[in-house]
Amino acid sequence: MPKLDRFPLTRIVSTPALLDGIQTSTTAIVMRTAPDELFWLGSPAAPVINDPHAIIEHDTSFVGTWLSTQAATAWVSANCEWQLPTTRPVFAQGEVAGLPVKLWIEPRRMLVLVQQPFAADLGERLQ
């Protein structure tokens, strides 16, 4: 069973227009989880957003693991009913192995993230 690590990230909830304007980084992973929400993972830190009503939350509830392309392909093929996007890097989310997962797919690896309440089941279902 792959070891699951905690992936602290910043959740930014704001207007779609303001989130559209955020400059992404070449080093941080930026996942647009919804029109009004964005996950910022890694450094540099998430940029300041010009929205006094924005919700900026440092979220430590996500856990996951990096899978090699080979392992990711096998896992997705066995557990995912929907087709993953083909561009790289790319963010995708949906049900895989019966769990609500967020995927960050790079050319040579894939990050699988779930929130902590699903962690034990993800561990079992990655076997």
Query: Is residue 5 a contact point for other proteins (CB under 8 A)?
Result: no
CB of 91 to other proteins, least distance (A): 19
Query: Is residue 125 a contact point for other proteins (CB under 8 A)?
Result: yes
Neighbours of 25 (CB within 10 A): 15
Q: Are 20 and 36 in contact (CB under 8 A)?
A: no
Nearest to other proteins of 24, 124 (CB atom): 124
Site for other proteins in 65-94 (CB under 8 A): 76-83
Mark 47-66 with x for binding to other proteins (rule: CB under 8 A) and - for no binding.
------xxx-xxxxx-----
CB of 11 to other proteins, least distance (A): 7
Spatial distance between the Cα atoms of 121 and 123, rounded to a whole number of angstroms = 5
Phi, psi of 119, deg, nearest 5: -60, -45
In a 10 Å sphere around its CB, with 0-12 CB exposed, 13-18 middle and 19+ buried, how is residue 62 labelled?
buried
Query: Is residue 14 a contact point for other proteins (CB under 8 A)?
Result: yes
Nearest to other proteins of 13, 28 (CB atom): 13
Report how many helices (DSSP H) and strands (DSSP E) the chain contains, helices first.
Answer: 3, 9
CB of 97 to other proteins, least distance (A): 6
Neighbours of 60 (CB within 10 A): 11
Residues at the interface with other proteins (CB under 8 A): 6, 11, 13-15, 36-37, 53-55, 57-61, 76-83, 97-99, 115-121, 125
